[in-house]
Amino acid sequence: MAHASDGRSLEFRLPDLGEGLTEAEIVRWLVEVGDVVAVDQPVVEVETAKAMVEVPCPYGGVVTARFGEEGTELPVGAPLVTVAVGEVDGAGDAAADGPARGTGAAEAPAAKTPAAEKKAEGSGNVLVGYGTSEAPARRRRVRPDRPAATGVSGRANGRVRAAGPVDGPVRAAEPADGPVPVISPLVRRLARQHDLDLRELAGSGPDGLILRADVEYALRAAAAQGGRTADQEAGAIRVPDAASASSGAFSSTSAAPHPDGTRVPLKGVRGAVADKLSRSRREIPDATCWVDADATELMRARTAMNASGGPRISLVALLARICTAALARFPELNSTVDTEAREIVRLDRVHLGFAAQTDRGLVVPVVRDAHTRDAEGLTAEFARLTEAARAGRLTPGDLTGGTFTLNNYGVFGVDGSTPIINHPEAAMLGVGRIVTKPWVHEGELAVRQVVQLSLTFDHRVCDGGTAGGFLRYVADCVEQPAVLLRTL
């Protein structure tokens, strides 16, 4: 295993992984301390409220520290890893040196060699919030380690490990005057929930920044002291049991037993869905209309397409093509409402979302520029996004920016629904199951394939006449696919 010589340590922080995301949970580390990594090599897999993402590191070198255990939730901007950038030679020393470099203190930058200059060049891989330029060389203040406490055995993953009872939370010699060096609102909230004075902690982050790990360490130290528990003293620090502490989970965020059941935290995908649907219900005055349609001819048309050779056309692709044609006729429904400006914004391009149920919960991947794609192109893109959703490989970009949603809830074996609009969109088309029913066709009773269609729309962007006209046009295309020939 190699180590870096004549180089410098660079700290890679958790980047902004998508619109409005403030934190991510570490799912799996892909590197160990002492591993040699290349520029843009994924170093950790994290889960955000939108997707599972492998995060590439924009530096090449030797990993000298990792910050956070698997299952830990980190705020955007928190350190992920430090990388010693420089020439790689020798063997075996990086693993030994790594933990010592993970304390948050860094060495003064050394003189760069040509190889180090090359390795310090920027990444070619861009996530939101960090990118391709060379990281600036920063001189960081070397700070003394935390005051020694009984039983402190060493540091790992950038935090102090306690091997036995200690005298209390690790504290600075005197509470500092001025603002508390904390960036993350999660750290402040955690300290506030446990009545912990942040001024009494010595941060292990850059320039004394107090990290979540510092607060958790202080809570564990207070628990080891054994003199202050939530049952003995009002306002005392509440701490997790040993199993919870080892996983980094606290009672405020984990599923806790309850006399009447089990509490399950609303976080990750489930939490994001809850927040978005709640906001939609609060802000959007929605209404729903529906109609039954005879889908027999549409099913026959699909069978004929697939019998002619070439890629098979999916039913959802045909429904999507009908949607884009309908939106061209009724553009009011491809819009959003700017509440601050009190304006309706009609959108020129159709980015079509479709609801997909996965093991991680409901997600809505987005087909970009759906109005420019034919049935074959839509089929291919639906297949790609569906497979990525099932494998947990959707990126934040795959899940944002939709302008209209197609919800095929018929796959669950139900006929109808009144879905909640995917905020900030203005409408959603729902498609129930296609079932064989008696139906009057050309004046005679016949057995036909019937589907129920529903449209939920934002009543601010249009009246019922527009919504009804859109849904009637969709139903006409389902019943007589040749209607689409007028717009092809």
Q: Residue for token digits 């209607």? A: 483
Output the CA angle 370-372-378, nearest 5 degrees.
50
Cα distance between residue 282 and residue 458, in whole Å: 12
Phi, psi of 46 (to 5 degrees): -125, 155
Q: Which of 348, 441, 463, 476 is catalytic?
A: 463
* Whether 463 is catalytic: yes
Q: Which of 338, 369, 459, 476 is catalytic?
A: 459
β-strands 366-367, 404-407: how paired?
Answer: unpaired
Q: Residue for token digits 């959603």? A: 428
Cβ neighbourhood burial of 310 (10 Å; 0-12, 13-18, 19+): exposed
User: Residue 159 corresponds to which amino acid?
Assistant: R
DSSP letters of 13-51? EPP--STT--EEEEEEE---TT-EE-TTEEEEEEE-SS-
Q: Helix %, strand %, coil % for the chain, to 5? A: 30, 25, 45
Cα distance between residue 82 and residue 100, in whole Å: 11
Q: Residue for token digits 């693993």? A: 95
By annotation, the residues acting in catalysis are: 459, 463
